[in-house]
Chain A
Amino acid sequence: MALTTQRVDVPVIVDESKCLKKCIACIEVCPLDVLAKNPETGKAYMKYDECWFCLPCEKECPTNAITVQIPFLLR
């Protein structure tokens, strides 16, 4: 099957200048397990567009690096 890379507007935005390399707080609390670390930069990012916009990632981030937007389709 042919696969394509499709761009999507993702709800979880990470400010990389604030994200701590050794911290995994947001990744641990996400109910949908959609966040991961970029192996090259050590910064968190939204790996899967499966968000309940529930906010634990944003609330538990120690440096306020995360902003959760309402997914575009609902906005």
Chain B
Amino acid sequence: MDTQYLKTDFLVVGGGTAGTMAGIKAKQASPESDVLILEKANIRRSGAIAMGMDGVNTAVIPGNSTPEQYTREITIANDGILNQKAVYETGRLGFELIQELESWGVKFQKDHEGNYDLKQVHRVGKYVLPMPEGKDLKKILARQVRRHKVRVTNRVMATRVIVQEGRVVGVTGLDVRSGDFVVIQAKAVVLSTGACGRLGLPASGYLYGTYENPTNAGDGYSMAYHAGAELNNIECFQINPLIKDYNGPACAYVASPFGAYTANAEGNRFISCDYWSGQMMLEMWKELNSGKGPVHLKMYHLDDDTISEIETILWANERPSRGRFHEGRGENYRTHGVEMNISEIGLCSGHSASGVWVNERAETTVPGLYAAGDMASVPHNYMIGAFVYGRIAAENAMTYVQGLEHIEPDANFLTAEKNRIYQPLNNPNGVPHTQMEYKLRRMVNDYLQPPKSPHKMDIGLSKFVAYEETLNLMGAKDPHELMRCMEVHFIRDCAEMAARASLYRKESRWGLYHYRLDYPEKNSEEWFCHVNIKKTADGEMTLFKRPVQPYIVDVNLEQEVYDVAVR
């Protein structure tokens, strides 16, 4: 195993939705600059949209809605805690990106008159734009990456961001096939590594049976933390209403515009809106814990043609193996509701609001370090938000790098990191990563799954802290296992942050996402603020309040309470 040295002007870590767009936009902004995408899988089929996407969830299309309306909708859905300026950008710039994607061959649903066929899934506005032919989205993006002459290095996983002289100077990584240690010098870096999708353990017990693509193990959350960047509202977990056991979307976003709805075992509605919010998840939790569970996505009242159309969309896009899952159980949308359950926890700002702190310029608190996509703290940002923030990060980074010189990474830092990565190889008969990860994630379920109990979280926190030493027992036999070992480190960091942030915010907010049994009420007098985390100079995890930035769109939160219960 050797050391590979690479050098670029702008490094994109993670070639998924945000990352491929960041690469393309960087070259559009500055064609003469060198841009490199680092991807631990292969950008042709990687990230959250490896098998495409069945719709856009945050499309602000002129004539249908405005960025102001969108910002207001998300402000209310996210209980007021957000940087409105950042959310506004998703509304302002999303349409341009939809048009550009269209020019590349991505198809969005249109009505008979050629207008975008928007659907209402949110509580008030129409922001869902179906894309029934969205299965090859990632292949189209990969083609544009090549056309724009963005360099790509597949199968290298970043492990740490290198910060020197108060700014980012590069990244270390592991070639997951050869096992080489990789050092990439860069003048600016965007982290776009997706969610922490492997935090809680799925009820099936299968480590990779997650909602998110399981390659997304919280890499960017952990790397940003160790780089000294702030992370934001980590206590606002991602918890989704999913197909029981399969753990993928059922999917009401696609099916509800056709007339499907979430129902209890008696076939009755208990929520008025299927949009994923913490408040909706709390209603789901209450229903499951009442005598009226389990709950299901109900389609069997629809006519055969409609159900066939839903099947065509759901079984070709995003999670196409849904069809064979139902078939294997002898279940059919015509006769059976799709039994749903509450997922294990994860971190993902694409769906909820837990991410690496960024402003409306995609800047983290470390100069030269940007974040975009599911891991960046722009709430409810979904796919279009990832594209928008990939673009914003790239355009700002290309301005930032002008006139900057590379800095030689510190040799001691590189040696220490190389030793950290390779440690499990020196211990090939150590505890396998699978057992190490299973136990860690089982404890995440035991101690962090809401509703949150302070004493349980205290125990959980002490176990996650102690687990740092336990990780030294891990052994690996090849570079692939080494990759998984490093991911367990990422997951542990996220678990500790999730416990600390949940203990810090002494109120309940965001419905089930942060429902504390000891503080069951919202307390805006003390907690109308962000909770941020960072690593201090002496290596301690510290938490503090950050004020919510002044609103740019007026919302009266006293009157506008997000309530989707059917009573």
- Give complex CA distance A43, B296 in Å: 42
Per a CB cutoff under 8 Å, which of A29, A50, A59, A73 touches B214?
Answer: A50
Residue from A31, A50, A55, A75 whose CB has the most chain B CB atoms within 10 Å: A31
Chain A residues with Cβ below 8 Å from B50 are 31, 52, 54, 56
Residues of chain B lying within 8 A (CB to CB) of residue A54: 45, 50-51, 213, 319-321
Contacts of A68 in B (CB 8 A): 321
A70 touching B321 in the complex, CB below 8 Å, given contacts A1-B431, A33-B155, A33-B176: yes
Segment among B27-35, B203-211, B221-229, B512-520 that sits at the interface with chain A: B203-211
User: Which of chain A's residues 24-48 have a Cβ closer than 8 Å to chain B?
Assistant: 28-33, 47-48
List residues of chain A with CB within 8 A of the CB of B177: 33
Contact residues in A for B562 (Cβ distance below 8 Å) = none
Q: How far is the CB of B52 from chain A (nearest CB, A)?
A: 10
Establish whether residues B209 and A31, one from each chain, have CB atoms under 8 Å apart when the complex forms: no
CB of A17 to closest CB in B, whole Å? 22
**B495 CB, min distance to chain A CBs, angstroms:** 20
Nearest A residue to B319 via CB reads A54
Which A-chain residue is minimally distant from B320 (CB atoms)?
A55
B321 near A53 (CB under 8 angstroms)? yes
Q: Would A55 and B41 count as touching, CB distance under 8 A?
A: no
Closest beta carbon of chain A to B118's beta carbon, Å = 28
Answer whether residue B215 sits at the interface, using C-beta atoms and an 8 A cutoff: yes
Q: A30-B41, A31-B46, A73-B204 are in contact. Are A56 and B51 (CB under 8 A)?
A: yes
Say whether, besides A28-B44, A33-B176, A70-B324, A52 and B210 are in contact (CB < 8 Å).
yes
**CA–CA, A33 and B208, complex, Å:** 13
B245 at the interface (CB under 8 A from A): yes
In the complex, the chain A residue whose C-beta lies closest to that of B197 is A52
A43 to B209 CA separation, bound complex (whole angstroms): 26
A51-B321 Cα distance, complex, nearest whole Å? 12
User: In the complex, which residue of chain B has the Cβ closest to the Cβ of A72?
Assistant: B206
Contact B44 A73 (CB under 8 A): no
Which residue in chain B gives the minimum CB-CB distance to A36?
A: B480
Residues of the B chain whose Cβ atoms lie less than 8 Å from the Cβ of A31:
41-42, 45-47, 50, 213, 215
Known contacts A3-B429, A30-B41: A73-B215 contact under CB 8 Å: no
From known contacts A33-B480, A70-B246, A74-B247, infer whether A28 and B204 are also in contact, taking CB-CB under 8 Å: no
Q: Cβ of B176: which chain A residues have Cβ within 8 Å of it?
A: 33
Name the interface size band of chain A.
Answer: 20 to 34
Q: Tell whether B328 is near chain A: CB-to-CB under 8 Å.
A: yes
Inter-chain contact B208/A32, CB cutoff 8 Å: yes
Distance between A2 CB and nearest chain B CB, rounded to angstroms: 8
Tell me the nearest residue of chain B to A71, going by C-beta: B206
User: Which chain A residues border B400 with CB–CB below 8 Å?
Assistant: none
Docked CA distance A66–B42 (Å): 19
Residues of B within 8 A of A30 (CB): 41-42, 45
Give complex CA distance A70, B322 in Å.
9
Map CB proximity to A onto B250-272 as digits: 1 under 8 Å, 0 otherwise.
00000000000000000000000
Is B551's beta carbon under 8 Å from chain A? no
A73 CA / B328 CA spacing, docked (Å): 13
Contact across chains for B45 and A29 when beta carbons are under 8 A apart: yes
Q: Is A32 in contact with B204, judged by CB distance below 8 angstroms?
A: no
Q: Is the CB of B246 within 8 A of A74?
A: yes
Closest Cβ of chain A: how far from B480's Cβ, in Å? 6
Kindly state the separation between the CA atoms of A74 and B46 in the bound complex, as whole angstroms: 23
Please determine whether A74 and B208 come into contact, CB atoms closer than 8 angstroms.
Answer: no
B104 at the A interface (CB under 8 A): no
B207 partner residues in chain A, CB cutoff 8 A: 50
Task: Tell whether, in the assembled complex, residue A50 and residue B208 are in contact, meaning their CB atoms are under 8 Å apart.
Answer: yes
Q: Which residues of B contact A1 (CB under 8 A)?
A: 429-431, 475
A56 vs B138: C-alpha distance when bound (angstroms): 11
Q: List 8 A-B contacts (CB under 8 A).
A: A1-B429, A31-B213, A52-B214, A54-B51, A54-B320, A73-B205, A74-B245, A75-B328
Q: A3-B429, A70-B328 are in contact. List 10 more A-B contacts (CB 8 A).
A: A28-B44, A29-B44, A30-B42, A32-B41, A33-B41, A52-B213, A53-B321, A60-B45, A73-B206, A74-B204
* B contact set with A: CB distance below 8 Å: 41-42, 44-47, 50-51, 155, 176-177, 204-210, 213-215, 245-247, 319-321, 324-325, 328-329, 429-431, 475, 480, 483-484
Closest 7 CB pairs of A and B: A56-B45, A29-B45, A31-B41, A73-B206, A53-B321, A73-B204, A74-B204
